[in-house]
C-alpha cells in the first residue's frame, strides 16, 4: 500500500467530515418527520429540534391507515406506477429501436416530430381538452397515456442501443429470427441497465405525479397518493383552524401520511440502484 502524505490524509478526513455532515443534513428532515409522526399532540406541537419522538404514540398512523381512502389511493398509485412504467418503458424502447434503423422510411421526420415535443408542449388547457375529448378524464389512464413516450428517454435509449453492435442483430437474423423476436429476446435483455434507469425515473415521476392527478381526476375513488396527501394536510389544517379536537397533532397526522406515502418508493430504490449508475453512465463515452 502506498503511504499517504499527511496532507492527503487531512484532506480525506476533511472530506469525510464534510460528506458525513452533508448526509446528516439531508437525512435530518426525514428523521424529523418520522419523529413527529410518532409523537403525541403535545410533543409534536412543542416544536424545536426533534431527535426522538416525544410521548411515543402510534395514534397518527392508526388514524391514517384506518381511512379507507388511503388504501384506495395506494391501489391507484401502484396501478399507475406499475402499468405506467411498464407501458412507458415498452413504448420508449420500441420507438427508440425503430428510430435507430436508418433505412426506415420517414425516420428523419419522425425523429424531428419527437424532438419537437421536447421543445414545445400543448400547454395545460389544450392538453386537458384533448384528454377530455379522448374520454380519458376521470380515469387513471389519463395519468398514463399522455406521457407514455418522453422524447428525452427515447434519446437516452437510442444512444444506448447504438452501443450494441449491429452484427449481433445480423447473426440473429441469419438464424431466422423475425424483427419482433430480435427486439424482445436480443435487444431488450441487452438494454437492461438503461431500461432500469428509465423505469426508475418514470416510476418515481408517476408516483409523485400531482398536477395531472389533480387536473384529470374527479372521483375520490380514483385519487392517487399525492392528491390524497394534499387533501389530508388541508383537512388537518381545517381541523386546527376550526378548533376541532384530536388526540394527535395535525403535524403528526401529516408526517405519518408523508412517511406512509414515501415508503414504497423508497423501497424500490435499492433494487434499481445498481442498474441506475450503469445506465446513466453507459452510452456517455463513445469509442
Partner 1 sequence: MKKLTKMVSVVCMTCLLGTLAAGCSSSENGNTSSSANPAAKPVTYTMFFNYGIPEFPDNGGEAKAKIIAQMEKAGVQGVDYKISMISGDEYKTKLNLLISSGEIPDYFNVDSTQLAMYVDQGLLRPLDDLLAKAPNLMKFIPKERFEGVTFDGKIYAIPQGVRTESFNSPNTAGLLVRQDWLDNLGLKQPTTLDELHTVLKGFTHDDPDKNGQDDTYGLGGNKATVFNTVFGAYGIGLMSGSIFWTEKEGKIVKSFVTPEAKQALAVLQQWYKEGLIDPEFPVMEPKQGDARIINSKVGVFEGDAFGVNAIGGGYYTSLLKVLPTAKITMINRITGPDGKKGWPEVNPYSGGALRAISVDAKDPERLIQMLDWSVSDDANGGVNLLTYGEENVDYTFDETKNLITQKTSYSDLYAKGFSNPVRFVQVTDRRWTDNTVRAALEIASSEIVKNEWWKTVPAELDYPDLEKKLWTEYFVKIVTGVWPVDRFDEFVQNYYQQGGQKIEQQANEEWQKSKN
Residue placing its CB nearer to partner 1 in the complex, 103 or 189 = 189
Angstrom distance (rounded) from CA 236 to CA 233: 5
Footprint of partner 1 (CB under 8 A): 40-42, 45-48, 55, 67, 69, 86-87, 90, 124-125, 128-129, 132, 134-139, 141, 145, 180-181, 184-185, 214-215, 218-221, 223, 228, 230-235, 237-240, 242-246, 249
Q: Which is nearer to partner 1, 137 or 163 (CB)?
A: 137
In the bound complex, what is the minimum distance in angstroms from residue 165's beta carbon to partner 1?
21
Smallest separation, CB 14 to partner 1 (Å): 33
Q: Which is nearer to partner 1, 67 or 121 (CB)?
A: 67
- For residue 204, give the nearest of 225, 185, 219 by alpha carbon: 225
The C-alpha atoms of residue 93 and residue 113 are separated, in whole angstroms, by 17
How far is residue 81's CA from residue 261's CA, in Å, rounded to a whole number?
Answer: 13
Determine the Cα–Cα distance for residues 160 and 212; give it in Å rounded to an integer. Answer: 30
Smallest distance from partner 1 to CB 51, Å = 16
3-state secondary structure of 284: coil
Closest CB 119 distance from partner 1, rounded Å? 24
Q: Quick one: 7 or 29, whose CB is closer to partner 1?
A: 29
H helices present in 134-247, as ranges: 141-144, 151-161, 166-174, 179-181, 188-190, 192-208, 211-216, 225-241
* Whole-number Å distance between alpha carbons of 115 and 155: 9
Count of C-beta atoms within a 10 Å radius of residue 264: 15
* Residue number, 40 or 197, with CB nearest to partner 1: 40
> 192 or 220: whose CB is closer to partner 1?
220
Q: How far is the CB of 207 from partner 1 (least distance, A)?
A: 18
Residue 88 CB, nearest approach to partner 1 (Å) = 12
Query: 4 — phi, psi (to 5°)?
Result: -90, 145
Amino acid at each position: 500500500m502506498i503511504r499517504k502524505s499527511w496532507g492527503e490524509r487531512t484532506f480525506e478526513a476533511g472530506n469525510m467530515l464534510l460528506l458525513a455532515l452533508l448526509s446528516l443534513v439531508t437525512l435530518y428532515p426525514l428523521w424529523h418527520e418520522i419523529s413527529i409522526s410518532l409523537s403525541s399532540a403535545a410533543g409534536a406541537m412543542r416544536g424545536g429540534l426533534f431527535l426522538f419522538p416525544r410521548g411515543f404514540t402510534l395514534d397518527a398512523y392508526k388514524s391514517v391507515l384506518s381511512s379507507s381512502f388511503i388504501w384506495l389511493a395506494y391501489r391507484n398509485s401502484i396501478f399507475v406506477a406499475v402499468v405506467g412504467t411498464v407501458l412507458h418503458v415498452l413504448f420508449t424502447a420500441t420507438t427508440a429501436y425503430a428510430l435507430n434503423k436508418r433505412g426506415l422510411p420517414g425516420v428523419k421526420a419522425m425523429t424531428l416530430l419527437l424532438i419537437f415535443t421536447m421543445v414545445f408542449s400543448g400547454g395545460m388547457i389544450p392538453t386537458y381538452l384533448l384528454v377530455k375529448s379522448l374520454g380519458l378524464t376521470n380515469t387513471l389512464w389519463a395519468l398514463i397515456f399522455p406521457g407514455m413516450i418522453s422524447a428525452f428517454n427515447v434519446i437516452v435509449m437510442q444512444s444506448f442501443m447504438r452501443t450494441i453492435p449491429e452484427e449481433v442483430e445480423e447473426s440473429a437474423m441469419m438464424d431466422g429470427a423475425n424483427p419482433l423476436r430480435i427486439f424482445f429476446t436480443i435487444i431488450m435483455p441487452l438494454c437492461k441497465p438503461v431500461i432500469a434507469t428509465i423505469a426508475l425515473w418514470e416510476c418515481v415521476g408517476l408516483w409523485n405525479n400531482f398536477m395531472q392527478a389533480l387536473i384529470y381526476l374527479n372521483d375520490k375513488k380514483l385519487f392517487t397518493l399525492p392528491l390524497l396527501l394534499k387533501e389530508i394536510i388541508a383537512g388537518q389544517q381545517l381541523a386546527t383552524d376550526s378548533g376541532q379536537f384530536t388526540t394527535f397533532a395535525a403535524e403528526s397526522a401529516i408526517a405519518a401520511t408523508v412517511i406512509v406515502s414515501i415508503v414504497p418508493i423508497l423501497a424500490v430504490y435499492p433494487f434499481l440502484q445498481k442498474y441506475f449508475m450503469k445506465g446513466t453512465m453507459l452510452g456517455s463515452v463513445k469509442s
